[in-house]
Amino acid sequence: MSRSAIADARRLVVKVGSSLVTNEGRGLDHERLALWSAQIARLREMGKEVVLVSSGAIAEGIKRLGWNKRPVALNELQAAAAVGQMGLIEAYERSFRVHGLYTAQILLTHADLADRERYLNARSTLRTLLELKAIPIINENDTVTTEEIKVGDNDTLGALVANLIEADALIILTDQRGLYSADPRLHPEAEFIFEAVAGKPELEDMAGGAGSSVGTGGMLTKILAAKRAARSGAHTVIVSGREEDVLVRLAMGESLGTQLLAVNAPLAARRQWLADHLQVRGSLRLDEGAVRALRLQGKSLLSIGVAEVIGEFHRGEVVACIDTQGRDIARGLVNYGADEARRIARQPSSQIAILLGYMDEAELIHRDNLALL
């Protein structure tokens, strides 16, 4: 078995799931939070920088509000998050203070990461906190999120943060050992996957549905998070948080859980920001020739290769590029609004000025503003 990818990593993002910080959803498990804090303190002593993405706010809020079950209504979930976030950060602050470490609370939405200026500000803040040897504790800002600005789950948020700070590795702590070739609850013969390359399509086929009633993400979200983190060069380990001293053992080189390795060259910072857009205003459906030009030749997207314009967007916004089957292949900053894009779709660049009365750019999306997925 190979050496843990975490051993040589200097900057880590650690994501802890709901089942590992709560008493089966009934408020926070303070003893477990103390264990995580102690392990992260050990990592700091080993010279590693750590950002913590922790679930548990809604579960703590439900307990504090005296509710018997998790609500369904968005406004009630947001209220629970607001109440519970106080308890979550208070508990972590108390636990880390024992080890002489400062903590900092960061609440993010997808909108914070989709806006270039806010993205850069968030990165600068996180890097400064790490230089100050504080432990940033990150969660989605559930108090204000709507579907339009929602990241959706903390596995994805962990990957986005790994990309944001250019972390070396993402550790996803869960209540399962790691990834199997099939759901071991349904297929006892399933084989455990010790190591694989992040982003391989067969990994998504292996992943089953959500395994816990407490959290929101199953194994598939973890596989997709590893694929996303790999774009910035971060390796991912999916491992059971029930393992004793799991973080310290990984840092010392022990191979635990499933390692999903990043093997491709990291995307440049601007292209990484483009690729991390979960929500887009619209899409451009490309013909097969345009897909080949983007994927194989690194070309810009020309209007003649666009078969359909979907949604409404303005010039300069990020749009998705999809193939004929509707699969995402790229994200890019579009040079023309949706109405204009519809008028020039399927037309050569030489016709843009004739059709629109002007031509700002010959390309619909320039290759410098395009990130392949």
Distance of CA 60 to the CA centre of its chain: 23
Query: Token pair of 198, please?
Result: 């992040």
Q: Which residue has the tokens 């009934």?
A: 26
| Distance between CA atoms of residues 331 and 298, nearest Å | 13
Instruction: Give the model's pLDDT for residue 195.
Output: 92
Instruction: Tell me which residue of 99, 105, 66, 104 sits closest to 83, measured CA to CA.
Output: 66
**pLDDT at position 345:** 94
Q: ∠ at Cα 268 (275, 335), nearest 5°?
A: 55
> In this predicted structure, what is the pLDDT of residue 145?
59
Which CATH superfamily, name and number, covers 11-271?
Acetylglutamate kinase-like (3.40.1160.10)
- Quick check: 281 and 250 in contact, CB under 8 A? no
Q: Which CATH number fits domain 280-372: 3.30.300.30, 2.30.130.10, 2.60.120.10, 3.40.1190.10?
A: 2.30.130.10
pLDDT in tens, the chain (373 residues): 467 778 889 999 999 988 898 887 678 999 999 999 999 999 999 999 999 999 888 888 999 999 988 888 888 888 888 899 999 999 999 999 999 999 999 998 888 888 888 888 999 999 999 999 999 999 887 666 555 445 568 898 999 999 999 999 999 999 889 998 887 778 888 899 999 999 888 888 777 544 333 334 478 889 989 999 998 899 999 999 999 999 999 999 999 999 999 987 888 877 888 888 877 889 999 999 999 999 999 899 999 999 999 999 999 889 999 999 998 999 998 999 999 999 999 999 999 999 999 888 899 999 888 989 8
C-alpha separations of 244 from 54, 169, 247, 357 in Å: 19, 20, 9, 68
Sheet containing strand 195-197, strands side by side: 103-108, 135-140, 49-54, 11-16, 169-174, 235-240, 258-261, 195-197
Q: How far apart are CA 277 and CA 242, in angstroms?
A: 33
Rounded to whole angstroms, what are the CA distances from 84 to 22, 71, 108, 137?
A: 12, 14, 16, 14
Domain ranges of the chain: 11-271, 280-372
Q: What's the pLDDT at 212?
A: 37
pLDDT digits (tens, 9 = 90+) for 169-219: 999 999 889 998 887 778 888 899 999 999 888 888 777 544 333 334 478
Helix (H) or strand (E) holding 360: none
Read off φ and ψ for residue 286, nearest 5 degrees: -100, 150
Helix (H) or strand (E) holding 58: helix 57-65
User: Residue 195 — φ and ψ, nearest 5°?
Assistant: -155, 140
What pLDDT is attached to residue 147?
53
User: Measured between alpha carbons, how far is 338 from 336 in angstroms, rounded to an integer?
Assistant: 7
The structure's pTM equals: 0.82
**Is 11-271's fold the same as 280-372's?**
no
Rounded-to-integer distance, Cα 300 and Cα 298, Å? 7
Furthest C-alpha separation in the chain: 70
